[in-house]
Amino acid sequence: MPRTQFKALRMARLLIITLMLLPVSLATYKQNVATAAEPTFITATSESGSNDNQDEELVKTLPGFQNGTKTVNGIKLHYVEGGKGEPLFLLPGWPETWYEYRKIMPELAKHYHVYSIDIRGMGSSDKPTTGYDKKTMASDIYALMNELGYKNIYIAGHDIGSTVAYAFAANYPQATKKLAMLDISHPDNNMLKLPLVAPSGSYDESNPARVKFPWWWAFNAVPNLPEQLLHGKNLDIAYNWAYDYLSYDKPALTPQEKSIYLAAYAKPDALRAANDWFRTFRQDIDDFNTYKKLSMPVLGIYGSTGISDLGPFLKENTRNPKVVELKKTGHWIAEEQPEEVIKQFKEFFR
């Protein structure tokens, strides 16, 4: 066969094969485009965080404590309990889990039956696609209280847990013996006045007393975007920055402790649920405007370099507040100043 005819025949065969494969290639291309348009890491599910194995290992470091779960309001809530006495519910905040109270739980358990609870969307508790307004989350805690056989409780919260604890006291005053709030108030109209631009010196790492600027309150509330940006290594970078930024003059958490929290927020549904706590702030403000001034005893503890307006908030919205400022303390109060928190809690809840 002449060389030119051989080349022509080979080209014809290649053309036929290409035309045969073209529909398959187009189908694959369309499928890839569709997948890219809907990234798997922003898919919302109601699956549990599946931190059970981690919880089992962590509880072993707290003699006398054990894991527990109850199904309330159609979701599973996980908690760690220990001690004897009247019930004391501890509600953690962003971006942590029940483990944030590890330094104060053993001592408090000498006087109270302590429950450190993963709130809706946190840790090993369920992460449904709705119900992250603080009034609904407070109803979770109320239902858990009833399921555990109590009629009233002492309750304390930090950060997002503090907002839920306040909503609990506002909606169930008959079930609230005393309320303690750590560093964060409930969303109110003052939140609508927060500046867009950070105050001068907010990011001056050489100044441990710098004013902290909570820009992530707005960022986390953006629909879908945080989930697309904060996954994998990006989540580690962002959250590690927050852990250090909100400390005082040195990191309040060790690398190992940070890794425990990062593992709890690494899954897509966990990250989505955590951001949903912020996405409901507008509803939380509307609900707050319907609440009456609290009449039960209230303790507020805030760090001198935290992000708190807790003092003015409690003086305006509660009838019987005790407000404590901890000097040279950042946002992670129970981890930066555990001895002082134990002291204040024992005096207040006794």
What is the model's pLDDT at position 53? 80
Instruction: Kindly list the structural domains of the chain, giving each domain's residue range(s) and its CATH number in brackets, ordered by start.
Output: 52-349 (3.40.50.1820)
Percentage of residues of the chain with pLDDT beyond 70: 85
For 283-309, what is the mean pLDDT? 94
Instruction: Give the pair of three-digit tokens for residue 17.
Output: 């094969």
Give whole-number Cα distances, 136 to 118, 168, 277, in Å. Answer: 15, 9, 11
Across the range 69-97, mean pLDDT stands at 98
Given pLDDT bands bounded at 50, 70 and 90, which one contains residue 75? Answer: very high
pTM: 0.85
What pLDDT shows up at residue 34?
Answer: 37
177, two tokens: 């013996």
Average pLDDT in the chain: 88
pLDDT in tens, 320-332: 899 999 999 999 9
Mean pLDDT (whole number) for 79-89? 98
Among residues 119, 176, 170, 173, which one has the least CA distance to residue 153? 176
| Comparison of pLDDT for 32 and 277, the residue scoring more | 277
For Cα atoms 168, 173, 175, give the angle at the middle one, nearest 5 degrees. Answer: 80
Q: What integer pLDDT is reported at residue 250 of this predicted model? A: 80
**Whole-number pLDDT of residue 305:** 83
CB 181 within 8 A of CB 115: no
Distance from C-alpha of 306 to C-alpha of 260, rounded to nearest angstrom: 22
pLDDT digits (tens, 9 = 90+) for 297-342: 999 999 988 787 899 999 999 998 999 999 999 999 999 999 999 9
- Give the span between the Cα atoms of 247 and 250, in whole angstroms: 6
> Do residues 235 and 242 touch, judged by C-beta distance below 8 A?
no
User: Of the candidates 131, 24, 154, which has an alpha carbon nearest to the alpha carbon of residue 72?
Assistant: 131
Q: What is the pLDDT of residue 143?
A: 98
Sign of CA dihedral 243, 221, 301, 329: positive
Instruction: Give the mean model confidence (pLDDT) for residues 76-80.
Output: 98
Please tell me the distance from the alpha carbon of residue 169 to that of residue 1, in angstroms, as a whole number. 93
User: Per residue in 6-23, pLDDT tens?
Assistant: 444 454 444 444 444 444
